Amino acid sequence: MKQSEFGTWRPMVSAPRDGTRVLVAMYASEQGPADVDVARWAHPKPSRDACWVASDSSHDCMITYEEAELAFWMPLPASQPQHRTAYSAAVLPPVPGKPDEETGGSGI
C-alpha cells in the first residue's frame, strides 16, 4: 500500500483478507470503550472460522474480533517515509566540533 493511503478510515467490507496487518477501530461495547488495535484476517485454530486476530496474540491466548465488533480499518503506515534516502549514518560527514572517536566514557 502507498504511504498516502495511511490516515483514511475505511469500511470493514473493504479490508484485505490475505493476512495483511492493518489498524482496526472497534466499536464501544459492554466489554470496553471504542479502541484501536493492529489485526490480521486469519484462521486462529483449524476448527474455527476465519476472523480478525490481534497482532499481539499468542498461541496460548488468542485475541480475536468478529466482523460486527469492528467499525473501520486503515493500512499501517510505511516503515520508512518515502522522503528518507538509502544512505546510512556511516556515510554522513562528521558533526563539526565533535571528535570522530569517543575520548572518554565507555563508548557504548
At position 65, the amino acid (one-letter code) is Y
Q: Residue 85 falls within a domain, yes or no? A: no
Q: Pick the residue with more confidence: 62 or 27? A: 27
* 3 backbone dihedrals φ, ψ, rounded to 5°: -60, -35
Closest C-alpha among 39, 46, 47, 28 to residue 63: 39
Q: Residue 105 falls within a domain, yes or no? A: no
Q: Residue 18 falls within a domain, yes or no? A: yes
For residue 71, count other CB atoms closer than 10 A to its CB: 15
pLDDT number for residue 1:
47
Distance CA(6)–CA(8), nearest Å, equals 6
Q: Which grid coordinates belong to 25? A: 477501530
Q: Residue 102 falls within a domain, yes or no? A: no
In the predicted model, is pLDDT for residue 26 greater than 60? yes
Range of the domain at 45: 3-79
Looking at the structure of the chain, the number of domains it has is 1
Q: Residue 11 falls within a domain, yes or no? A: yes
pLDDT tier, 100 (very low <50, low <70, confident <90, very high otherwise): low
Q: Residue 45 falls within a domain, yes or no? A: yes
Average model confidence (pLDDT) across the chain: 79
Q: Residue 84 falls within a domain, yes or no? A: no
Q: Residue 95 falls within a domain, yes or no? A: no
